Structure 1
Amino acid sequence: MEQKIKVGITGQAGFIGSHLYNYLGTKENIELIDFERSYFEDKSKLSNFVSQCDTILHIAAMNRHEDQQVIYNTNVNLVNQLIEACQDTNSTPKIIFSSSSQEEKDNLYGKSKRDGREALEQWAKNNNSQVASLIIPNVFGPFGKPFYNSFIATFSHQIINGETPNIINDGEVNLIYINQLSEVFYKHIISNQDTPALKYTVPHTATKKVSEILNLLNHFNKEYVQEGKVPNVPINSFEINLFNTFTSFIPLQSYFPRKFTKHEDNRGAFVEIMRAGVSGQSSFSTTVPGITRGNHYHTRKIERFAVIQGKARIELRKINTDKVYSFDLDGKHPAYVDMPIWYTHNIKNIGDTELITLFWINEPYNPEDADTYFVEV
């Protein structure tokens, strides 16, 4: 059996760090070593952390503060503490450093990244270790912090809350989606680096004007939030990544379940289940009373559960959190719940008759790339 690579992530609880933690959690050859921010305030805990790791992803950093000098001092100090912990324990893990395209700009944040990278490179050369510094473009993705991580997070938050975003500079922005960035980190974790210091400029995967992105977000809001339609978001595209980012800001408990329009006459009833700009795959299931289906999550797929007969309880829980969202649906009042990415979900028959559920997903099932990971809600 292949020996697992022990990987720790400083800044594990942050935007990039949490996504990396979840992404690497899907890899069978990776063993994750947990990190807490308080470790930087306790030398013994930080030393214990670095001594357990084969590879450390150094993500922890301050991005914004009123005083630029505080940003510089904080980021350089975090690097120095990490180096000191490695020296104190005679540990030589491979360190993958999250740097920024701001390195070449005349600001203290960029300087903190450049100086931190150079300090790590010198440590690697002196201690027979390795450092890979990734120069990262603008990153976007689900669960970002508005007014902090990305203008896309800010715009999405504002639109969902009925506010009007303001474009200050309608320039072109080079972007990379967080899942794509996680793949880059993973490749560097498993690669055989042949030099002590490697500097790698991560290529952006999209270039868009700010106004172009805002127009797409407003389009998603109109079609999905207001009209219940899934817009045309092709598989493996910038649009589907932006859509999944946008929908992550929808407050689940107040938005779902969404009721269908039910048309009844003397013949019976008619309900339109789905209207989408992509074809995808539709299916249905029958479930006997007391049985639960699901308990899995997806990292890219858009999925809808529509209860058309019987009583069901749909539960969702974001990976690595404790809060469970619960929705009770009854086929007498047809309704649906959509499954956000990175939320493990299930459906249980809570009635005393057969449950019939219709499922729609935006891409046909592929057993070789199922994007389905089993975790109990």
Structure 2
Amino acid sequence: MLKVGITGQAGFVGKHLYNTLGLFQEEFQRIDFHKDFFDEESKLNDFVSQCDVIVHLAAMNRHNDPQVIYDTNLGLVQKLVTSLKNTNSKAHVLFSSSTQEERDNLYGKSKREGRELMADWAKSSDGKFTGMIIPNVFGPFGHPNYNSVVATFAHKIARNETPTIEVDGDLKLIYVGELVDEIIKEIRSSESKEQVFVPHTSESKVSRLLSLLEKYKSEYQDKGIIPQLNSKFEVNLFNTFRCYMDIPNYFPIKFTQHTDPRGAFVEVIRLNVGGQVSFSTTVPGITRGNHFHTRKIERFAVIKGKALIQLRQIGTDEVLDFYLDGNEPAYVDMPVWYTHNIKNVGEEELYTIFWINEFYDPNDPDTYFENV
């Protein structure tokens, strides 16, 4: 079993990598990292000495003074190299660099020189080193005004703010889940590679990103419609947008009931995308679910009985509780990377309709069990 540590574990990419490694518990053991390790040599040495693999993601992306970015990023690499030497580490170090290496800015310079410093350590210490040159990354839980323009736009649009385009450039993008797959592939290969150019998986003008995100706001957040998603990129962008909504105060959404002497009619979902619809009955006191998805879009609609739907973002402790009653039919949608369940908290049978955007595939279920 490989012992893997991630500097920058709590950051955008770090969180996704840490959580994904947790899906392969028979293959990887995660060695926890805290940012204060860089401030105390003994803690950093202890961390480094435990690791077979170190993924160096810790870095500063933005600051009012570019010199602070340069000094900070190079300083972190120097501290890590010192610790690798102090502990006589033979760890495989993967370094996260950027396509901005070739640009005339201090952030790109800090990444290029940091990668070269780490490569020099590997050569002089007979260590393993992989330098990964990474394009623009987007995905759920990125920090607005810091990690990516997608995070900034999605955060603002979901809060009814109006983003502005400074430069309508062409962006080469990779979804954070796809980047994590590339990092894990390099971990598994266990080969030294001074430069690995991680390929972008999509391209878009900034204005197109804004247009798509505004469509998701108009159709999904405002009307509950699952929008047409024409590519894997659009599915990833939509799932990213959903994570910036005010989920605790957005759900549950009550349906519009049409009643007449025959009974009631409720429209459960409007789709501009395909998928699979199913239903369940649940006896009182029983809980279903306790799993999460990393790519699927899913809706739980309660039409009879009383239910408690719970959500918790993986890696966090806060549990969101949503109470639904079939007398006022309502739904809750499941964001990616949120483990979720549904419990019958009433005294009669619970009827639930489920919709998910892809057919169930037992060879690729995208379903990971973890109690809420």
Q: TM-score range by the shorter chain?
A: over 0.9
Counterpart amino acid of residue 303 in structure 1: E
Residue 351 of structure 1 and its aligned partner are, at CA, apart by: 0.2
SS in 2 for 1:40: helix
Residue 277 of structure 1 and its aligned partner are, at CA, apart by: 1.2
Deviations 1:134-182 (A, max 9, x none): 1000000001111100111111111111111111111111000000000
Structure 1 runs (4+) deviating above 3 angstroms are: none
Structure 1 match to 2:281: 286
Structure 2 match to 1:8: 5
Alignment of 1:174-213 (within 5 A): 174-193=172-191, 195=192, 197-213=193-209
Structure 1 match to 2:368: 373
Structure 1 match to 2:65: 67
Counterpart amino acid of residue 41 in structure 2: K
Is the 2:294–2:366 Cα contact (8 Å) retained in structure 1?
A: yes
Alpha-carbon RMSD? 0.9
Counterpart amino acid of residue 215 in structure 1: S
CA–CA separation in structure 1 for the residues paired with 2:244 and 2:259: 35
Answering whether residue 18 of structure 2 is matched by residue 21 of structure 1, we say yes
Structure 2 match to 1:99: 97
Is the 2:74–2:114 Cα contact (8 Å) retained in structure 1?
A: yes
CA–CA separation in structure 1 for the residues paired with 2:34 and 2:169: 37
Alignment of 1:28-43 (within 5 A): 28-43=26-41
SS in 2 for 1:223: helix
Q: How many equivalent residue pairs?
A: 371
CA–CA separation in structure 2 for the residues paired with 1:317 and 1:282: 24
CA–CA separation in structure 2 for the residues paired with 1:332 and 1:292: 20
CA–CA separation in structure 2 for the residues paired with 1:37 and 1:331: 47
Residue 333 of structure 1 and its aligned partner are, at CA, apart by: 0.2
Is the 2:98–2:108 Cα contact (8 Å) retained in structure 1?
A: yes
Structure 2 match to 1:363: 358
Structure 2 match to 1:226: 222
Residue 30 of structure 1 and its aligned partner are, at CA, apart by: 1.2
CA–CA separation in structure 1 for the residues paired with 2:194 and 2:147: 26
CA–CA separation in structure 2 for the residues paired with 1:113 and 1:212: 29
CA–CA separation in structure 2 for the residues paired with 1:307 and 1:218: 29
Structure 2 match to 1:240: 235
Unaligned segments of structure 2, at least 5 residues: none
Deviations 1:68-120 (A, max 9, x none): 11111111110111111111111120000000011111111111101100110
Counterpart amino acid of residue 86 in structure 1: L
Counterpart amino acid of residue 210 in structure 2: L
CA–CA separation in structure 2 for the residues paired with 1:91 and 1:213: 43
CA–CA separation in structure 2 for the residues paired with 1:52 and 1:131: 17
Answering whether residue 48 of structure 2 is matched by residue 50 of structure 1, we say yes
Residue 23 of structure 1 and its aligned partner are, at CA, apart by: 1.4
CA–CA separation in structure 2 for the residues paired with 1:86 and 1:70: 24
Answering whether residue 145 of structure 2 is matched by residue 147 of structure 1, we say yes
Residue 44 of structure 1 and its aligned partner are, at CA, apart by: 1.0
Deviations 1:341-367 (A, max 9, x none): 000000000000000111000001111
Q: What TM-score results when the alignment is normalised by the length of structure 2?
A: 0.98
Counterpart amino acid of residue 277 in structure 2: S
CA–CA separation in structure 1 for the residues paired with 2:324 and 2:274: 25
Alignment of 1:319-330 (within 5 A): 319-330=314-325
Structure 1 match to 2:255: 260
Residue 252 of structure 1 and its aligned partner are, at CA, apart by: 1.1
Counterpart amino acid of residue 134 in structure 2: I
SS in 2 for 1:72: helix
Which deviates the most, 131-140 or 23-32?
Answer: 23-32
SS in 2 for 1:121: helix
Structure 2 match to 1:277: 272
Question: Which residue of the other structure, out of 344, 352, 355, is the alignment partner of 1:349?
Answer: 344
Q: Report the identity percentage.
A: 58
Unaligned segments of structure 1, at least 5 residues: none
SS in 2 for 1:275: coil
Structure 1 match to 2:162: 164
Counterpart amino acid of residue 341 in structure 2: N
CA–CA separation in structure 1 for the residues paired with 2:342 and 2:226: 22
